[in-house]
Amino acid sequence: MAKTSIPSAFDALMQIRGTDILLISKQGLIVRINESAAEQFWYKEKELVGKHMEVLLPEDIRPQHRKFQEAYYKKPGNREMGKGRVTKGLRKDGKEFPIHAELGYFHEQGEEHVMVQVSVVHEIAHIVAQQQHDKVFAERILR
């Protein structure tokens, strides 16, 4: 069995539809973004690569985000972004929307990065509601 290289596995992960992923450099630049994530923010991938990730955040939270980003790199790891706070994204049209983001520390070609997996909050609510519905349905069948 052939081994899968990390770059090809990463490339495959980046192409999963419905999984919104960004790779952010330590300097805050978008190194990679998959099509699904770009579409959530109403951009094309090529419009965002090389831009500072703060273009995806409302202006009023950018200064605080910079402090959080500095703190993250002092103790990097896998964790939820904005735990206990409402986190917002900013679409290309200027509209803010609630998001949930998971952070993962990542090295690529000797550089430190953060991999960010983003979910739109209304999608999460829909998934939770569906899971609750499925649980109730299963309980009824098993009675």
DSSP assignments along the chain, one per residue: -PPPPHHHHHHHHHT-TT-EEEEEETTSBEEEE-HHHHHHTT--HHHHTTSBGGGGS-GGGHHHHHHHHHHHHHS--SEEETTTS-EEEE-TTS-EEEEEEEEEEEEETTEEEEEEEEEEHHHHHHHHHHHHHHHHHHHHHH-
pLDDT of residue 30: 95
Residuewise pLDDT in 10s, the chain (143 residues):
444 444 566 677 777 777 899 999 999 999 999 999 999 999 999 999 999 999 999 999 999 989 988 988 899 999 888 776 768 899 999 999 888 889 999 777 788 888 888 887 655 555 565 567 667 766 776 76
pLDDT of residue 114: 87
pLDDT of residue 123: 56
- pTM more than 0.85: no
pLDDT of residue 87: 84
